[in-house]
Amino acid sequence: MYSAEFQKSLHEVEAAREANIAYEPARMSAEDKERLLEAYHPDYKKTEFEKLQFGPNKGDVVPRELCEILQAHSRITADQIDLNDVRYDVDVLIIGGGGAGASAAIEADRAGASTMIVTKLRIGDANTMMAEGGIQAADKPNDSPAIHFLDAFGGGHFAAKRELLAKLVCDAPEAIQWLNELGVEFDKTSDGTMITTHGGGTSRKRMHAAKDYSGAEIMRTLRDEVLNRGINVVDFTAAIELILDDKGNAAGAVLMNMETKELMVARAKTVIIATGGAGRMHYQGFPTSNHYGATADGLVLGYRVGAKLLYADTLQYHPTGAAYPSQIFGALVTEKVRSLGAKLVNSEGRVFMHPLETRDVAAASIIRECSDRDKGIDTGNGKAVWLDTPMIERIGGEGTIERRIPAMMRMFANYGIDIRKEPILVYPTLHYQNGGLDINADGMTPNVENLFVAGEAVGGIHGRNRLMGNSLLDIIVFGRNAGKNAAAKSRNIEMGMLTLDHIAAFDAEREKAGVKTSAVSPRLLPDYTNRHERT
């Protein structure tokens, strides 16, 4: 139930609903999109970006908050750590217990490597667990990996590394099959046909889902498999610094127990960074859809030992974050709501864009509606637009919402809003890190030997914008890929002496560049204590 101040606008939405269902808004031309993005997308707001003064990406601009942690001090100095006191000694060390880390672990273990996952919270407390909408793969007769490639390449502004994208789309059907054979329950018709829908920017219906718990269903299955295999999972333990050997190759990590703060050394022949995204950095003050541990740690760990970032200046703001009530401010409203037919409507009840434009375009369009056009609804937390969910029941029949997006229904029902009958208020939320560490098709960073990266911590697979459903896909495809290749590589590695000399070297570079900072990183967790002003 919405309070009085929303009622007027709500009536307009209801009055226009039938007409709005029938109305098919035009898609924007390439030029329109370009202009819209430049004027309204947060990535284009120059004052929010800063130039890196030293390190592998010296001269590149990145979000201010990211710049600070990339150039920050280590949490440790080399003399605090006894590198001979090795607590864990493995072939493959995986940092991060999300979907990418778990997929990598399963494959590395299957290949016979001794494998370990360290993760900051529990395994599965991760962005993967939260994915709702689905996972793309071109497995229908009217579709092909080539069409999938084109959709993703164009959607990513023609900037993806093509060899990575080719791998993503060609390995996609097998990834779905792999998950299915592990027991992931995809939505299917009674003859086994996968139920697939559109996502923003897709030209074929290739979004596979497990209701709107797609990520949770994938994550809990992977976690179960990791545990069945007896893979060592060390939880509530963060990697806070990589360790190199004297040849400059990755050789392990310094770990910190998140509760006791004890420091430990893990030696490993190969290391896989699978630390996920950065939503909890709250770039430009945006709320976020991400899990509690999404603080770009992997980017920091990699950058300090010389790994290069690609497209770290591009973030994805999901167009439909919950804008009301305040308890779920920033939480994701899955794109599937729009795939199923709900349209975006302004304060006057007008549909102002095609609901399935790519995310960056949709986010910019909502920001325009709420700023210059002044057609937003005031929520008390800023402006927002309507997402007219009752349309779904009208189009798909009664019961569609409960069947296809039960998590959404539950999230709003908790606060007394029945999305079958009432529309919801949305505004863009910080959702995904498009950029990240650069890798080759084998999953290894080009400039640090034996350092692999998988999942949201990678940059380049999607270019400068990612389509819905391609991230769950990439964590499986590139997670497995990294696991297999790291395990294979670990067989012929002669490790040198462990060192943490890079910390002092990085400090020296900072000094030389004249950068003064008191910041330390990785950040590990956001600090929300006292976030709500005590007045």
Partner 1 sequence: MDKMVNIFLFGKKYEVPDNLTIMCAMEYAGYQLVRGCGCRNGFCGACATIYRIKGDRELKVCLACQTKVENDMYIATLPFFPLIKQVYDIENIKPEQQIMMQLYPEIYACIGCNACTKSCTQKLNVMQYIAYAQRGDFKSCAEESFDCVMCGVCSSRCPAGISHPQVAMLARRLNGKYLAPKSEHLESRVAEIKDGTYDELIEALMGKTIEEMKELYNHRDIEK
Ligand X SMILES: Cc1cc2nc3c(=O)[nH]c(=O)nc-3n(C[C@H](O)[C@H](O)[C@H](O)COP(=O)(O)OP(=O)(O)OC[C@H]3O[C@@H](n4cnc5c(N)ncnc54)[C@H](O)[C@@H]3O)c2cc1C
Q: Which residues here bind ligand X, judged by CB under 6 A?
A: 95-101, 118-121, 125-128, 130-135, 214-215, 238-239, 274-277, 289-291, 293-294, 297, 332, 432, 455-457, 468-472, 475, 522
DSSP state of 191: T
Of these residues, 41, 148, 280, 318, which one is catalytic? Answer: 318
**Letter string b/e over residues 208-230, b meaning 16 or more CB atoms within 10 A of that residue's CB:** bbbbbbbbbbbbbbbbebbeeee
Q: Is 245 in the site for partner 1 (CB under 8 A)?
A: no
Q: Is 228 in the site for partner 1 (CB under 8 A)?
A: yes
Which of 17, 338, 368, 404 does the annotation list as catalytic?
338
Which partner in ligand X, partner 1, none is near 414 (CB below 5 to 8 A by kind)? partner 1
101 binds, among ligand X, partner 1, none (CB under 5 to 8 A by kind): ligand X
Report if residue 170 touches partner 1, rule: CB under 8 A. Answer: yes
Would you state the structure tokens that stand for residue 272, as one six-digit string? 């896989």
DSSP code per residue over 83-104: TT-EEEEEEEEEE--SHHHHHH
Burial call 264-291: b when 16+ CB within 10 Å, e when fewer: bbbbbbbbbbbbbbbbbbbbbebbbbbb
Rounded to 10 deg, the angle between the 145-155 and 172-182 helix axes is 100
Q: Do residues 151 and 203 make contact, with C-beta atoms less than 8 angstroms apart?
A: yes
The yes or no reply on residue 140 touching partner 1 (CB under 8 A) is yes
Of 61, 76, 331, 493, which one interacts with partner 1 (CB under 8 A)? 331
Which of 68, 83, 89, 144 is in the footprint of partner 1 by CB under 8 A? 144
H or E element at residue 357: none
Question: Between 347 and 470, whose beta carbon lies closer to ligand X?
Answer: 470
DSSP-derived letter for residue 329 is T
* Minimal distance, residue 242 CB to partner 1, in Å: 23
Binds 80, which of partner 1, ligand X, none (CB < 5 to 8 A, cut-off by type)?
none
Question: In 156-277, which residue ranges form alpha helices assigned H by DSSP?
Answer: 162-170, 172-182, 214-228
CB of residue 442 vs ligand X: minimum separation in angstroms?
18
When binding is defined by CB under 8 A, the residue of 263, 411, 482, 486 that contacts partner 1 is: 411
With CB atoms as reference, the residue minimizing the distance to ligand X is 98
- Kindly state the smallest distance separating residue 100's Cβ from partner 1, in Å: 16
Nearer Cβ to partner 1, position 150 or 488? 150
Whether 280 is a known active-site residue: answer no
- The window from 10-18, 209-217, 394-402, 485-493 that contacts partner 1 (CB under 8 A) reads 209-217
Alpha helices in 132-193 (DSSP H): 145-155, 162-170, 172-182
Q: Does 333 bind partner 1 (CB under 8 A)?
A: no
Contact 240, 157 (CB under 8 A): no
Binding partner 1 (rule: CB under 8 A), the pick from 213, 283, 311, 412 is 213
Does residue 26 interact with partner 1 by CB under 8 A? no
Least distance in angstroms from the C-beta of 282 to partner 1: 13
| 220 a catalytic residue | no
Helix 172-182 × helix 214-228 angle, to 10°: 60
431-450 residues in contact with partner 1 (CB under 8 A) are none
The nearest distance, CB 527 to partner 1, in angstroms, is: 6
Tell me the two tokens of residue 172: 């996609």
Task: Identify which of residues 52 and 467 has a Cβ nearer to ligand X in the complex.
Answer: 467
Burial class (CB in 10 A: 0-12, 13-18, 19+), 11: exposed
Q: Which residues contact 141 (CB under 8 A, 6 or more apart)?
A: none
**According to the binding rule CB under 8 A, does residue 186 interact with partner 1?**
yes
Active site positions, annotated: 318, 338
